[in-house]
Amino acid sequence: MKKTITLFTLLLVGIRVSAQQDPMFTKYMFNSLIFNPAYAGSKDHMIVNLLHRTQWWGIEGAPQTQSLTIHTPMKNDRVGLGGSLVFDQIGPTTTISGNLAYSYRIPVGKGKLCIGVQGGGYNWRADWGKLQRLDPGDPAYQFDVNIWRPNLGTGIYYYNNNFYTGIGCPRIIEYDLTKDRTDNSAIYAKQYRHYFYTIGAAIPLKGNALIFKPSALVKSVGLDSKLKKDAAFERIGAPTEFNVDLSLFFQETLWVGTSFRSAVEVFNKKSTYDSVDLWFAYYLSNGVRIGAAYDYTLTKLQKAAGGSFEIMAGYEFNYQTRKTVTPRYF
């Protein structure tokens, strides 16, 4: 049965990009390596994390995303290595990306400044046969697409026991995703450069028994679009998205939080409310970490969708000493 893909998919692959292309995560603090390679090794022990996200549950063809990250410091304490794999499906389009990350950590005051780079590749596929098209002759959907491209990314990250901040660009190189065309129709599909800025703190309220952890993530695409020579790509319709998160960490075991996601359209000078989110993570005594999140949609999509949800599982290799050494909150 052919799928009916909703309007957001058509906007994603149509004449102009009007949405963020890189996937969003409510529990972004658990897979930071995906958007900033400088994060590799910053936990001072090996850590593995697997996360699944279903966005706008109930809408056929809505985004489905899975991510796997692993990173660790090396014997040389200044070096961190990591790897990430992301599978992202939106309607008839699928993106698979994999990267290896390297981070060099420099002591600065009571913390460390990390400079990271990553390299890898990604595959972008579009199977237009899954669409029910109003115009079967639409030239934008005449040819299926299967593109492989190399990737480079970079980032910086600073952290100490009670504060962190960083900025990452996981894909520096921008690629045209359209198939070579022989006609003159103005059809554009391009992989844009995304920027991610993070900041957060850990504030002890009752020693290590209760920690208050506010954080924020800002994601923007096309910050440098005005510098482009190609006028067709100078104005990007994607808004700047931000998440503000407030959470409590109990007894270094139970972590519960709530967040608010919104967006600001720079060119139109408008803001939109996206969702209010609830989430938790629980650390088992053997090093396993599990968690889940639910997003309540604040847009008109709430009438058709049951919100969004994430489930997560991870493993931290310092579980034998975590209770006896200085705790690491980030």
Give 13's strand partners: none
Q: What is the pLDDT of residue 274?
A: 83
CA distance 277 to 177: 33
CA distance 243 to 227: 27
Domain count for the chain, please give it: 1
Residue 66: what residue type?
A: Q
CA distance 212 to 257: 10
**CB of 84 closer than 8 Å to CB of 67:** yes
Residue 65: what residue type?
A: T
Is residue 323 one of the residues assigned to a domain? no
Is residue 204 one of the residues assigned to a domain? yes
Per-residue pLDDT of the chain (330 residues; tens, 9 = 90+): 344 444 334 334 333 334 556 788 888 989 999 999 999 999 888 999 999 999 888 888 888 999 999 999 998 889 999 999 999 998 888 999 999 999 999 999 999 999 999 999 989 888 877 777 777 777 667 777 888 989 999 999 999 999 999 999 999 988 776 654 445 555 556 778 889 999 999 999 998 899 999 999 999 886 665 555 555 555 555 678 889 999 999 998 999 999 999 887 655 556 678 889 999 999 998 889 999 999 998 887 777 777 899 999 999 887 544 543 445 566
Closest Cα partner for 170 from 322, 67, 252, 299?
67
Q: What is the pLDDT of residue 88?
A: 92
Is residue 45 one of the residues assigned to a domain? yes
Write a three-state SS string for the chain.
CCCCCCHHHHHHHCCCCCCCCCCCCCCHHHCHHHCCHHHCCCCCCCEEEEEEEECCCCCCCCCEEEEEEEEEECCCCCEEEEEEEEEEEECCEEEEEEEEEEEEEEEECCEEEEEEEEEEEEEEEECHHHCCCCCCCCHHHCCCEEEEEEEEEEEEEEECCCEEEEEEECCCCCEECCCCCCCCCCCCCEECCEEEEEEEECEECECECEEEEEEEEEEEECCCHHHCCCHHHCCCCCCEEEEEEEEEEECCCEEEEEEEEEEEECCCCEEEEEEEEEEEEEECCCCEEEEEEEEEECCHHHHCCCCEEEEEEEEECCCCCCCCCCCCCC
Structural domain span for residue 293? 7-316
Span 222-239, pLDDT tens digits: 666 555 555 555 555 567
Q: What is the pLDDT of residue 225?
A: 57
CA distance 185 to 314: 48
| Residue partners of 236: CB distance under 8 A and separation at least 6 | 16, 17, 192, 221, 222, 225
**CB of 190 closer than 8 Å to CB of 176:** yes
Is residue 321 one of the residues assigned to a domain? no
Closest Cα partner for 252 from 224, 299, 284, 215?
284
* C-alpha distances in Å from residue 43, one per residue of 7, 72, 328: 41, 7, 7
Is residue 322 one of the residues assigned to a domain? no
**CB of 97 closer than 8 Å to CB of 68:** no
65 exposure class (CB count in 10 Å sphere: 0-12, 13-18, 19+): buried
* Assigned token pair, 43: 């936990």
Domain of 183, CATH number, reads 2.40.160.40
Q: What is the pLDDT of residue 292?
A: 97
Is residue 11 one of the residues assigned to a domain? yes
* Assigned token pair, 125: 């596929």
Is residue 12 one of the residues assigned to a domain? yes
Is residue 324 one of the residues assigned to a domain? no
**CB of 212 closer than 8 Å to CB of 200:** no
